[in-house]
Chain A
Amino acid sequence: MDNDKNILEVRDLQVNFKTYAGDVKAIRNVSFDLRKGETLAIVGESGSGKSVTTRTIMGLNANNADIASGTIKYKGEDLLKKSEADMEKIRGQDIAEIFQDPMTSLDPTMKIGRQIAEPLIIHKGMKKEKALAQALEMMKLVGITDAENRINDYPHQFSGGMRQRIVIAIALINYPEILIADEPTTALDVTIQAQILNLMKELQDKISTSIIFITHDLGVVAGMADRVAVMYAGKIVEYGTVDEIFYNPKHPYTWGLLSSMPTLDTGGDELPSIPGTPPDLLDPPKGDAFAARNAYALKIDTEKEPPFFKVSDTHYAATWLLHPDAPKVTPPEQIVERQKKYAAMHKELLAQQRTQGPVEEEEEKQ
């Protein structure tokens, strides 16, 4: 893995929340990289620590959060060691964030032009008129119709989808290196969701930013992400390219997530779901946190935490099932089918490479 291609490197991050009942271990040893220009999706159910991870990167955690260990390296510097004043310079300039609910994330008493221009005024020291002119350009870029007339409108005069476009405009106005999108489409209806996702992809190409895309919706991930990290109970349990996660998942939790996502091929009367609820992170279980809900759990799962097993150069999963000594299990039917598709795709890919191979060699000879 080429290190200078990584714009963000998170290592062994542990975040606890101090409560009266004790420490809630929200993030338990999370490590991941974000490469330049890629979209990394972090997927998991509510409470798995997705948002805490991004808030820790932004330095916007609640007062009772305690970062117990870890480093977050951005351009070689550890963000966790930065002062509040330094973080203020990074937020909205190098790293920007889009939030979940566009209905509540805009200031109801400030004109939207001003809200979009604000990061320019703060970070670039721009004059108000100039910043507003640039905000207008940004409004056009994110697809707000009649932008000239709407720049002095207030948030309540816009629909949810339009408001999310405004939030995106605010986040991107300084052309940030990293854009964190925390469930940006969850609060929108499906048609608007697609529009916003397309817009994000389009803008990512235009301003070449890297995206951390937080979601609980695997359906959204497929078209959006390059790589996927699956989070469960404050840990990443599996990560790989989007194809690897969708068509060759190895962790039983990923199986569960994928099986509970309806697809065009979904048959039967009932959509499968993962039984039970996530563990209490006040006192996380010994061993694999998913063991209690896992139909494929082994005895060792309740005793010892599984390390990451390598599936391919880009694909790792933390489950004992991948241990050479583990008994062979058959994943749910749907997953088996997915894996078959993957094998077929893989064959095709290999075949393509074989036919392309000699051509390249010839070119080199010439």
Chain B
Amino acid sequence: MAKYLAKRIFYLILTLFIVITVTFFLMKLLPGTPLTNQAKLSKSQIALIYEQYGLNKPVWQQYLLYLAGAVKGDFGTSFQFSDQPVSYLISSRIGPSLQIGLQAMVVGVVIGIIVGAFGAMKQNTWVDSTTTVVSILGISIPSFVLAVLLQYYLGLKAGWFPIAEWGGFIYTVLPTLALGAQPLAESARFVRTEMVDVLSSDYIELAKAKGLSKTGVIFHHALRNSLIPLITIVGPLAVNIMTGSMVVENIFSIPGIGEQFVKSVLTNDYPTIMGLTIVYSFMLCVVLLFTDILYGIVDPRIRITGKAN
């Protein structure tokens, strides 16, 4: 296990390096400069600022300098908020994003499993059709549309939840729902399909022949086996939530990193773009590593360690 983890961490660092490299050069291809909107600055002032931030050097030198800094843990200072190190900017804003992201993931997947399992158990009944419609809606409605609908109906009309801003659990409900709809729909669809398959398999027949009740069969045998393929989509779902959060955080004015990411791209805030890219790719890598380990826990056939026969 330790050997496996070491290998995976090495791959994680390699992945981050590639992501940094690709993003750095792509970012330099973006139109405009950090000072595009600063028309009042004179040419010499601009040159001075370029000098100060090292933007006058060739791109490959900038890249190497950035790498050298990153290795030492120095991710530069934000262009937009002068004197704010990127690391501080991110660490002060990551909390709300993590909270909403995790809440959306957990709520979405857990409810998705329940909905999917019900659909499979009541296959070809109105329960099944309803769950199918719900999952199709959840998959096809973009989170930002849902966010606005939730704001209007549950926030403005019903008045149950605050429409926007940040300040406690109640403020997280609507963004969580908006972000969680897609994981919910995807996992419901996956669990339903898989469970229909599992329920017609031989070992379920054997479980019934043992005298297990319907619920006993579901909880002791069907559920665990149906969840295995769900783990595969946890990674993509995490990506979904991360990208969704960029827009949803803007809609709900949540002071998170998603909102910050969008702003930094719009203003060509190079260090912030780079810093956030690293954070996002790191989170994704961790999610993927986590799912691979989870696989082994749920499915003994692909356990990483264990007695070889």
Partner of A91, one of B210, B225, B301: B210
Closest A residue to B124 by beta carbon equals A63
The answer to whether the Cβ of B213 comes within 8 Å of any Cβ in the partner chain is yes
Residues of B111-140 contacting chain A, CB below 8 A: none
Partner of A109, one of B206, B211, B224: B224
Closest A residue to B214 by beta carbon equals A84
Partner of A118, one of B201, B210, B224, B225: B210
- With contacts A109-B299, A154-B300, A156-B301 taken as known, whether A122 is within 8 angstroms of B210 at the C-beta atoms is yes
Encode B177-206 as 1/0 by CB contact (under 8 A) with A: 000000000000000000000000111011
* B225 A96 Cβ-Cβ under 8 A: no
Residues of A within 8 A of B209 (CB): 58, 60, 91-92, 96-97, 99, 171
Shortest CB-to-CB span from B231 to chain A, Å, is: 12
How many chain A residues sit at the interface, stated as a range, is 20 to 34
Residues of A within 8 A of B224 (CB): 109-110
The answer to whether the Cβ of B28 comes within 8 Å of any Cβ in the partner chain is no
The interface residues of chain A, by DSSP majority, are classed as mixed
* A122 B211 Cβ-Cβ under 8 A: yes
Residues of A100-156 contacting chain B, CB below 8 A: 100-101, 104-110, 118-119, 122-123, 154, 156
The answer to whether the Cβ of A41 comes within 8 Å of any Cβ in the partner chain is no
In angstroms, Cα B301 to Cα A100, docked, is 22
Q: Considering only CB atoms and an 8 Å cut-off, how many residues of chain B contact the other chain?
A: 23
Closest A residue to B223 by beta carbon equals A109
In angstroms, Cα B211 to Cα A89, docked, is 6
The answer to whether the Cβ of A88 comes within 8 Å of any Cβ in the partner chain is yes
Closest B residue to A111 by beta carbon equals B300
The answer to whether the Cβ of A157 comes within 8 Å of any Cβ in the partner chain is yes
Residues of A within 8 A of B201 (CB): 104
Partner of B205, one of A105, A109, A118: A105
The answer to whether the Cβ of B44 comes within 8 Å of any Cβ in the partner chain is no
In angstroms, Cα B228 to Cα A221, docked, is 40
* A104 B211 Cβ-Cβ under 8 A: no
In angstroms, Cα B210 to Cα A91, docked, is 6
Residues of B within 8 A of A91 (CB): 208-211
* B212 A118 Cβ-Cβ under 8 A: yes
The answer to whether the Cβ of B247 comes within 8 Å of any Cβ in the partner chain is no
In angstroms, Cα B211 to Cα A58, docked, is 10
In angstroms, Cα B206 to Cα A104, docked, is 10
Residues of B within 8 A of A154 (CB): 300-301
* A104 B300 Cβ-Cβ under 8 A: no
Binding site for B on A (CB under 8 A): 58, 60, 85, 88-93, 96-97, 99-101, 104-110, 118-119, 122-123, 154, 156-157, 167, 170-171
10 A–B contact pairs at CB < 8 A? A60-B205, A88-B213, A93-B211, A105-B205, A107-B225, A108-B203, A118-B210, A118-B212, A156-B300, A171-B209
